[in-house]
Amino acid sequence: MSVTTLHRPTHRDALSALSAAFERGDMVTVFGRCTVEYDGRAASSLGRGDRLLILKPDGTALVHTDEQRTPVNWQPPGSEHRAAVRDGRLRVRSERENPDERLDVRFEQVHQVSALPVTGGRTVDVYGSEEDLRQRILDDPDLVEPGFQPEATERETAAGPVDVFGHDSEGRPVVVELKRRRVGPDAAGQLGRYVEALEREFPDGVEARGVLVAPSVTDRARELLAEKGLAFVAVDPPAATANGPDGEASAASEGEDG
Cα–Cα distance, 177 to 210 (Å, whole number): 8
Given a contact cutoff of 8 angstroms between Cβ atoms, the answer to whether 138 and 44 are in contact is no
Binding flag, residue 157, a copy of itself (CB under 8 A): no
User: Residue 182: which of 136, 238, 132 has the closest Cα?
Assistant: 238
Min. distance of Cβ 146 from DNA in angstroms?
A: 25
Which of a copy of itself, DNA, none does residue 81 bind (CB under 5 to 8 Å by kind)? a copy of itself
For the CB of residue 4, give the shortest distance to a copy of itself in the complex, in Å. Answer: 9
Determine which residue in the list 9, 31, 173, 177 makes contact with a copy of itself, applying CB under 8 A: 31
d(CA 48, CA 255): 24
Give the whole-angstrom CA distance, residue 245 versus residue 229: 49
Dihedral of alpha carbons 200, 203, 205, 207, sign = negative
Q: Binding a copy of itself by CB under 8 A: which of 140, 156, 169, 181?
A: 181
| Strand pairing category for 73-75 and 61-64 | antiparallel
The nearest distance, CB 168 to a copy of itself, in angstroms, is 25
Near a copy of itself in 159-178, by CB under 8 A: 159-160
116 binds a copy of itself (CB under 8 A): yes
| Of 148, 178, 179, 193, the one binding a copy of itself by CB under 8 A | 193
Shortest spacing between CB 72 and a copy of itself, in angstroms: 5
- Please state the φ and ψ torsions of residue 9, each to the nearest 5 degrees: -75, 165
Pick from DNA, a copy of itself, none: which does 149 bind, CB < 5 to 8 A by kind? none
Q: Please report, as residue ranges, which positions from 46 to 65 form the binding site for a copy of itself (by CB under 8 A).
A: 46-52, 54-60, 62, 64-65
CB of 167 to a copy of itself, least distance (A): 26
C-alpha–C-alpha distance, residues 234 and 228, integer Å: 18
Handedness of CA 221, 193, 226, 176 (dihedral sign): negative
Pick between residue 207 and residue 227 the one whose CB is nearest to a copy of itself. 227
